[in-house]
Amino acid sequence: MHVVWHGGSLLGEHLADVAFKFLCADQWRPRVRGLGVPVRFWTSAPNPRPPGRDDPPPAVDLERAERNIVVLLVDAWLMSGGWNEYVTELVDMTSTSSRHWLLPVLLTRKVDRTSSISDVNCLRLYETTRELRDQVFVNKILHRLFRHVTDDDSPLTVLLSHASTDGRGVALAVRKYLHECTDVGDFLDVHSIAAGERLVEAIDRAISASAFLAIVTDSYSSRGWCRHEVIRAKRELGPIVLLAMPLR
């Protein structure tokens, strides 16, 4: 993964550091293992000169890895002068092969819509609150990373398995978080099954196409539907995550 930003952008520098700590390693927490994804930085030296007066870094090297994701942290500094040409070249480089993917992240509304990324769907991070900004940034990168390395351009979906008697509130809270902070879809029984559709068929079909999140509450294991979903998920050999709630 490559992170590109202008050296004069403090927010860009912060987000690059966030990406490195989460995906690669945190130098201040050596015992915490990251995901081991190599992260490369491409930026210019910070300086007080106006936008367009400094030189961008060397071209991003896309030949050292089989697959590349380039995270472009975009602000007014990045879209002017020599940087505009640099970004245009980067867009061209990543559009010529399915092995490479460009993820532009808008840090401000003030970006020239006639620029080279005007026809690229961007992550509008400026619309996110400061409290959730880093988390949303990492979640979006992870989702793009998953889709890129699996050669599957369909969104990731999570089936929320729960007991309606004491797990409904948690399931709804998780669903709300997925909608607000990620690009991950969800499958939640009554919200995802059409009226008149057979329950077993709909649930089994969703399990085969989704990651499985079991919200384990006091009554979870006593519910027949929950046991059916867990057994089916194990047979599918897909990812299974347990969210164990405190006993009441």
Q: Where are the domains of the chain?
A: 2-149, 157-244
**Among 15-24, 82-91, 187-196, 223-232, the least confident range:** 187-196
Q: Please state the pTM of the whole predicted model.
A: 0.75
Q: List for the chain the helix, strand, coil content (%; round to 5).
A: 40, 20, 40
**Among 137-141, 152-156, 158-162, the least confident range:** 152-156
Structural domain 157-244, CATH architecture: 3-Layer(aba) Sandwich (3.40)
| Phi, psi dihedral angles at 101 (to 5 degrees) | -140, 135
**For the chain, what percent of residues have pLDDT higher than 90?**
37
**Which CATH number fits the domain 2-149, given the four candidates 3.60.40, 3.30.420, 3.40.50, 3.20.14?**
3.40.50
**Strand duo 123-124 + 100-106: pairing:** parallel
Q: How far apart are CA 230 and CA 224, in angstroms?
A: 10
Is-same-fold flag (2-149; 157-244)? Answer: yes
Residue-level pLDDT at 191: 78
Of the candidates 14, 104, 117, 5, the one whose C-alpha atom is nearest the C-alpha of residue 57 is: 5
118 DSSP 8-state letter: T
